[in-house]
Chains A and B, each alone.
Chain A
Amino acid sequence: MSAAAFVALITAVLTEAPHLIDAVEKIIASIKGQGPAGSEVDAVRKATDDLMARLTAPAK
């Protein structure tokens, strides 16, 4: 099999099964011992920062 045909095959497989890309990311993250960069802290900040500002705003 030529290199071009191999690349075409892999591209076709990944196009048909995009979850494989996610699986590859998870495997790499697992090997490195971490999740996708910034994912958890971003989620926490997005959910909490506005409420935190309202809680600590100057008294009315």
Chain B
Amino acid sequence: MKYAALVLFALVACAGASPSPQNPRPTARAAVDVAKDAWVMVARGCLDAADISGNDTIRAECAKYLSPAHALIVAAAEAVDTNWTQGASCDLAKAAALIADTVKNVNLGPEITKEIGPTVEDAALLAGKASQWACGPDGGAS
């Protein structure tokens, strides 16, 4: 009975403990979540901008950046579920850079750009934190 009580106490204590700074997975998971949110906001912004302006080329221009960003975010999410690595964090940093490039290089209009800007910045900052700023400017490991 004493052992059972000890095991239960340990479980409760562990459940309430803060993530270890040695374990990058919680930061990685948060970074992937925010990158996903930024990607979704920009993709919706692209579709809205194309609809509002009647200019379907906006959609294709966005896809040039967002399609590879999508693949990189999915790869990073798989790494969160299995084994987080520096390479995965650099993939995420590259995805965040591609999302930012979309906003920078495709004319989505001032309102949409203003609306999605903070989330895109947050995605870049968190991706940088998850990679411990150790990736090259293109997102590759340096």
The interface of chain A, by Cβ under 8 A from chain B, is 1, 6, 9-10, 13, 19-20, 22-24, 26-27, 30, 33-41, 43-45, 47-48, 51-52, 54-56, 59-60
Contacts and interface: CB of A to CB of B under 8 A. Distances in A.
A51 B67 CA distance: 10
Interface size class, chain B = 35 or more
A6 B4 CA distance: 9
Q: Is the interface of A mostly helix, strand, loop or mixed?
A: helix
Contacts, number: 93
Contacts of B78: 40-41
A42 B32 CA distance: 12
Contact of A41 (B59, B74, B83): B74
Contacts of A33: 25, 83
B36 A30 contact: no
Interface in B16-54: 23, 25, 29, 32-33, 36-37, 39-40, 43-44, 46-47
